[in-house]
Structure 1
Amino acid sequence: MPDPVKPTGALGGAVRWFVIAFMVIVLDQATKLAAEHFLSPRDVIPIMPSFNLVLAYNPGAAFSFLASAGGWQRWFFMLLAIVVSGVIGRLLLKHRAETLFCWAMSLILGGAIGNLIDRGYLGHVIDFIQLYYGNFYWPAFNIADSAICVGAALMVWDSFRKPKPASQ
């Protein structure tokens, strides 16, 4: 008899990775709603040295890439996020036993969908975290962006951990 706690079938073992992605989406959307509720554009709320809360709307991609491209970039980045999400979903199913790789993919998936929701619903992404050092200010970002960056770093780390195949 199958273990009732352990999922079986096509999703067997992969459910947890989709749950992690879902948790990233929920946290991302909740913090963006809170930022819009408590902050106004141009507000700068110092939290601690080198960390502010700000409210920024980004119609482009990372670091406002293509922000002033005329509107087509919204649809391009939405399509890209949908395609990437589908590929990541397949990778999670295929590699569900590879823990570090799946953590990376789950974080990237959750971040991609979190920003996709903003682009689809609002036409821009809500950013609210600002880091700085002296007069150098990193562009504002959000939880989805953070999840994507952490996921990418984990993916790189995972690639160095895997043994190289023996040459024939």
Structure 2
Amino acid sequence: MNEQALTLKNSGVRWLWVAMVIFLMDIGIKLLVMDTMGYGWANRIEVLPFFNLLYVHNYGAAFSFLSDQAGWQRWLFTGIAFGVTGLLTYWMSKLSAKEKWNNIAYALIIGGAVGNVFDRVVHGFVVDYLDFFWGSYHWPAFNLADSAICIGAVMIILDGFRNKKGQETD
């Protein structure tokens, strides 16, 4: 085995399997939703007093940002996702495989980003199916990919606080 392959084997890219699991679960759930549920809020399935399953399309980004645009946003968000995925994969290649926290955080973001990119490229929209609410206030519908991205981002933020705590101030 050459030195570069050995280096990659010991780097954070070993954690990309987490991204693959998130991607496969996300796409599997979305296909199940598309095949078994009727489209729209009228076809929602009430699961708990604060949670519904439903099938809706999101043509924008988080919270339907830019969803009312003519379609250019599909390619903008696809490009951003590819850029972020490339950057995070590069950072993972520079991290030790033993740095579990950051590698898992990056892999969650990558898996979620690729899951939503798949939807944008194949369908032209992202499939959302989770609806949480309190009274008449509904959180915007989202999916597993969105959840993975948010969890990964929170992990990165928490890591920033955790690392600063142990550093001396000048």
TM over 0.5: yes
What is the CA–CA distance in structure 1 between the aligned matches of 2:59 and 2:16, rounded to whole Å? 27
Give the whole-Å Cα distance in 2 for the aligned partners of 1:21 and 1:113.
8
Which of 97-106 and 121-130 deviates more?
A: 97-106
The structure richer in helix per residue is 2
Residue 89 of structure 2 is aligned to residue 81 of structure 1: no
Q: What corresponds to 2:108 in structure 1?
A: 107
Aligned pairs, number: 162
Distance 1:71 1:12, change over 3 A: same
Q: Is the CA contact (8 Å cut-off) linking 2:13 and 2:92 kept in structure 1?
A: no
Are residue 122 (structure 1) and residue 123 (structure 2) matched? yes
Q: CA RMSD in A?
A: 1.6
State the shift of 1:9 in Å. 3.2
Query: What secondary structure is seen at the aligned counterpart in 2 of 1:67?
Result: coil
Matching of residue 39 in structure 1 with residue 7 in structure 2? no
- Asked if 2 retains the 8 angstrom alpha-carbon contact of 1:11 and 1:93, the reply is no
AA aligned to 1:87 is L
Percentage identity across aligned positions?
38
Q: 1:11 deviation in Å?
A: 3.4
CA distance in 1, matches of 2:38, 2:134: 23
Aligned mates of 1:23, 1:16 — CA distance in 2: 13
Q: Which structure 1 residue ranges, 4+ long, deviate > 4 Å from structure 2?
A: 164-168
Of residues 18, 21, 38, the one that matches 1:20 is: 18
CA displacement at 1:48 relative to structure 2: 1.2
Structure 1 unmatched ranges of 5 or more: 1-6
TM-score of the superposition, structure 1-length normalised? 0.90
Q: TM-score, normalised by structure 2?
A: 0.89
